[in-house]
Structure 1
Amino acid sequence: MSMKSGLFAGLAATTLFAAPALAQDCTATPSDGALESQAQLNTLLDDGYVQFAGYLALVAYAQSADACADRQIFEQAYVRASQSEDSSIMVQWENWSRSPLDVRYPRAAANDGFGSECTVRFDLPQAGPAQNVNVDCTNPLFKSPIREGMRQVMWAPPHVGERFTPAEDLSFDLSFSSVIQDWVF
């Protein structure tokens, strides 16, 4: 982790935990929305989307300034994400972390032994799935499976406690052959 990102994570943690005494004195009941978010954050954490869940918890914590019971829920999720970062399934790619890209090899291409070279272009206006995904392949059979796979990829800051960096016109290349081994971008 860079010094800048370490400083931000430290400031975020300090801000997040600056008022633990207030949170401990809270006797309010969490809102239905916070309880629903808690379940969704726990599912993300259980599934290994640690950086994404930590980012969402941090944002929700900041947005629930006047609801101490809701803040407790998001604080707990953030702490769990921070403690679970080493077991995340998300991988680093440039300035972001992302969940794995799962592309199903098209049956017609597999039967005929065809491969493809593909370029994927997309925007990251916010954490979550990519937007404006455009796929260009030498074999058109691969376009749809790649688009479908990209819908499932979650993008987040590189580490829990860091800010998300929006970007436009990002791209990466994929190469598929009839020997399915390492498809990594």
Structure 2
Amino acid sequence: MGPKLLAISGLLCVLAAQSAFADECRERPNKPAKEIHKKLKVWMKKKDAVQYTGYMSRKVLEIPNLGCAERKLFQALLDDARDKLPESKMTELRSGLPVLHTDPSLYFPISMSEQGKNGDCVITFDLPRAGSATNIKANCDHEGFVESAEQAVASMVFSPLAIDDEFIPQEGLTYPLTYILD
């Protein structure tokens, strides 16, 4: 899991723990809620990950005993995501999963370019939850492409097909990549 997604997951745990003690409505949401909200707003605006933002907002709203100030904050974010859904830049991976390429991190390794080599890779990975892939392993016909291929899949963010869908964990997904010199 990428560091940004790990930070969001950690904050969700803190938010769930703090919300369990929320007996009355506060004027302002607690600090973890504000931090998560801020990160998700950035995802929606700068990364165009509308489905992912909406899904994560919905998951926060499912936290038992969520305080009313926090509920208002994330309900507004979920409503905003639903309104902006047509603007989403999430594309469909060959497996049918929506994916956001958060970083154009696919690069042609210099050493392979200098040798004039093209290459094919098959990347295997797991998706235990929405967000980043885990257990990423590239099998390439040239070892020089492995790091680039693994980084490419690590830069992807996965979401359910729609905001109101559940994310279905999957193991052993494959993604083929071909490196061709221009």
TM-score range, shorter chain: 0.7 to 0.9
Shift of 1:92: 1.5
In the TM superposition, 1:83-162 aligns within 5 A as 83-93=83-93, 94-100=95-101, 102-162=105-165
Q: Aligned partners of 1:96 and 1:65: how far apart in 2?
A: 31
Q: Aligned partners of 1:27 and 1:129: how far apart in 2?
A: 33
- What does residue 41 of structure 2 align with? 42
Asked whether the 8 Å contact 1:114–1:178 carries over to 2, the reply is yes
Shift of 1:109: 1.7
User: What TM-score comes out, normalization by structure 2 length?
Assistant: 0.79
Q: Aligned partners of 2:109 and 2:121: how far apart in 1?
A: 14
Q: Secondary structure at the match of 2:135?
A: strand
Q: Supply the AA of the counterpart residue of 1:96.
A: L
Q: Supply the AA of the counterpart residue of 2:83.
A: Q
Q: Supply the AA of the counterpart residue of 1:99.
A: L
User: What TM-score comes out, normalization by structure 1 length?
Assistant: 0.78
Identity %: 23
Asked whether the 8 Å contact 2:149–2:177 carries over to 1, the reply is no
Shift of 1:84: 1.5
CA offset digits 1:144-183 (Å, max 9, x no partner): 012122222111101222110111111121111112xxxx
Asked whether the 8 Å contact 1:64–1:71 carries over to 2, the reply is no
Q: Secondary structure at the match of 2:43?
A: helix
Q: Does 1:68 align with 2:68?
A: yes
Q: Does 1:170 align with 2:169?
A: no
Q: Aligned partners of 1:39 and 1:76: how far apart in 2?
A: 13
Q: Aligned partners of 1:84 and 1:110: how far apart in 2?
A: 41
Shift of 1:66: 3.5
Q: Secondary structure at the match of 2:172?
A: strand
Asked whether the 8 Å contact 1:95–1:157 carries over to 2, the reply is no
Q: Aligned partners of 1:70 and 1:129: how far apart in 2?
A: 25
Q: Aligned partners of 1:110 and 1:157: how far apart in 2?
A: 37
Q: Which runs of 5+ in 1 are unaligned?
A: 1-25, 180-185
Q: Which consecutive aligned stretches of 4+ in structure 1 deviate over 4 angstroms post-superposition?
A: none
Q: Which runs of 5+ in 2 are unaligned?
A: 1-24
Aligned length: 154
Q: Aligned partners of 1:105 and 1:37: how far apart in 2?
A: 35
Q: Supply the AA of the counterpart residue of 1:126.
A: R
Asked whether the 8 Å contact 1:55–1:161 carries over to 2, the reply is yes
Asked whether the 8 Å contact 1:95–1:165 carries over to 2, the reply is no
- What does residue 15 of structure 2 align with? none
